[in-house]
Structure 1
Amino acid sequence: METVILVVHLLLALTLIGVVLMQRSEGGGLGIGGGGGGMMTGRSAATALGKVTWGLAIAFICTSIALTIIAASDSATGSVLDRITEQPAADEPAPTLPGLDGESLLPPTPGESTTDSLVPEAD
């Protein structure tokens, strides 16, 4: 269900972008800005593209709210912040990498001689 709403949401977004770009740029599209007639009233004639834009915008908001509700109902546990504040138990030892057996990862000191050292010695 979430996938279907998400696909519809994306299609609405692309269609809304296209419809907005097709409108006149002189402010006649949604009544924003100045227009030719009725400049003092703030209202312009409702064109077909303006009505389509409003319809697509309302549908886009509805799908956004639906996706938010679905995402909230799918989250079984609490907030992400609740998971961050949980501290691991102090009794558990820190995990070690297999095969290290507690050996130091630092290279040997210059005075220390090891037979299995991987550090080359200068002649």
Structure 2
Amino acid sequence: MQSVLIVIHLIVVLALVGVVLLQRSEGGGLGLGGGGVSGFMTGRGQTNVLTRTTAVLAALFFATSLVLSILAGQSRGPRSILDTAAPGGAPATSGAPSAPTGGGVLDELKRLQGDTGSPQAPAAPQAPTAQ
């Protein structure tokens, strides 16, 4: 669904850029059909069609942008450990020791990792042996 909307959005963007470039600016710009040349569309008819087309494409651009941002917001998961941790601590599983529930972030992390909270002393360094 999201990839289809992205393709539609890109088509609308390219069409909007093309229609805006076709419009006549005050200095002439890239506008087509200037002067007395009888071309595809002239005068007032060209202005009305290009203005309406620009308005419709701008509305489509706004709508697809809004829908894509809503879809992106729904598929996003929690970004922080504070969002995933349950407040107050959950009960321990069968026989596993749990850290005291003091309510702090570190206590919660220790509980989630299954740490008992007691640090262990590092092992003594090994003495070199002669060979």
Q: Could you tell me the TM-score, scaled by structure 1's length?
A: 0.49
**Could you say which structure has the greater relative contact order, defined with CA pairs below 8 angstroms and 6 or more residues apart?**
1
Q: Could you tell me the TM-score, scaled by structure 2's length?
A: 0.46
Higher helix proportion, which one? 2
